[in-house]
A = this chain, B = another copy of it.
Amino acid sequence: MGAAVHEPEVIRDKAAMRAWSRRLRAEGKAVAFVPTMGFLHDGHLSLISAAAVASAGPVAVVVSIYVNPSQFAPTEDLATYPSDFAGDIRKLAATGVVAAVFCPPDLYVRGSAGQPPAAGASRGAVLCLEEDGGHGHETWIRVERLEKGLCGSSRPVFFRGVATVVAKLFNIVEPDIAVFGKKDYQQWRVICRMVRDLDFAIEIIGSEIVREADGLAMSSRNVHLSREEREKALSISRSLVSARTTALKGNNHSQQIKDQIVQTLTGAGGQVDYVEIVEQESLTPLERIDRPAVICVAAWFGKVRLVDNIEIQTPSS
């Protein structure tokens, strides 16, 4: 297909989405799903490429675009999360491999008896259980251990919101395969665990981080970085690569490696949220890098919180 332009079908209704998916599967296609919050960049497009070749047989790729309110805390950037629907559709068409785009207006039942949820437009509204008279959304999926630590410490409702909306999307799209980016490493592990524990019949593929030429991990939020902040933010990927080199050379003391990263980020003007070295599947902190590990970082540059990570597959003993 290559550069061919193939306009994807835009679907807004849950029932229509499910019917579409069942029809394609009945035709013998594997349905491969890439959930996104839109404002697509090359990182997303790499997930779509992975989805398109995820099965030996014919594949139908579905991309969802939905900014999930339930994973944002009231203090977070839901209202300013970037969007560009027309641009997204253009990029998806240009891939030549996306068959459908699912863009639901809202995925949550709001209580009929309550006030309109919070002030402002629905984009800025945070789901609230207390004001809806007992009839609004109230079911949440908790991956109780993996949701703690790392991003879960500073964003306590984040993974609850992610797991819940992904389960909803899985039940609507009914995919055979779903692709998640390893840039959001903890999110990927949370979804893998949820799929295993709740017996979803879905193969989860973790797709490698896509970086700008200078090393910055691609993120929709990068657009909010000033030129200067962006330059400083390069300290994240540089410090991670340097840390991996150190570890592979034989220094497996996590604390020393973490201290070095914190020093680099702080020296560059970043404000560190966390630097952790954890086991790859359980995300348990490691004192020594003596098994497959991942170094995870979250740091603020200006008003932008960035996350990044690097896996260490062949540690020193």
Q: Does A157 lie at the interface of the complex (its beta carbon under 8 Å from any beta carbon of B)?
A: no
Q: Does A199 lie at the interface of the complex (its beta carbon under 8 Å from any beta carbon of B)?
A: yes
Q: What are the interface flags for A166-181 relative to B under an 8 Å C-beta threshold, 1 for contact and 0 otherwise?
A: 0110011010000000
Q: Are B129 and A144 in contact (CB under 8 A)?
A: yes
Total A residues in contact with B, Cβ cutoff 8 Å: 40
Q: Are A109 and B144 in contact (CB under 8 A)?
A: no
A245 vs B172: C-alpha distance when bound (angstroms): 44
Q: Are A145 and B141 in contact (CB under 8 A)?
A: no
Chain B residues near A109 (CB, 8 Å)?
Answer: 196-197
A200 vs B196: C-alpha distance when bound (angstroms): 17
Q: Are A144 and B134 in contact (CB under 8 A)?
A: no
Q: Does A143 lie at the interface of the complex (its beta carbon under 8 Å from any beta carbon of B)?
A: yes
Chain B residues near A145 (CB, 8 Å)?
Answer: 129, 134, 138
A14 to chain B, nearest CB (A): 6
Please provide the chain A residues from 142 to 161 with a CB less than 8 Å away from any CB of chain B in the complex.
142-146
Q: Are A197 and B18 in contact (CB under 8 A)?
A: no
Q: What are the interface flags for A31-65 relative to B under an 8 Å C-beta threshold, 1 for contact and 0 otherwise?
A: 00000000000000000000000000000000000
Residue in B14, B108, B140, B281 whose beta carbon sits within 8 Å of that of A144 in the complex: B140
Give the top 6 A-B pairs by smallest Cβ distance, nearest first. A134-B282, A139-B197, A171-B199, A168-B199, A138-B145, A138-B144
Residues of A within 8 A of B (CB): 14, 18, 26, 107-109, 129, 133-135, 137-146, 163-164, 167-168, 171-172, 174, 193-194, 196-201, 279, 281-284
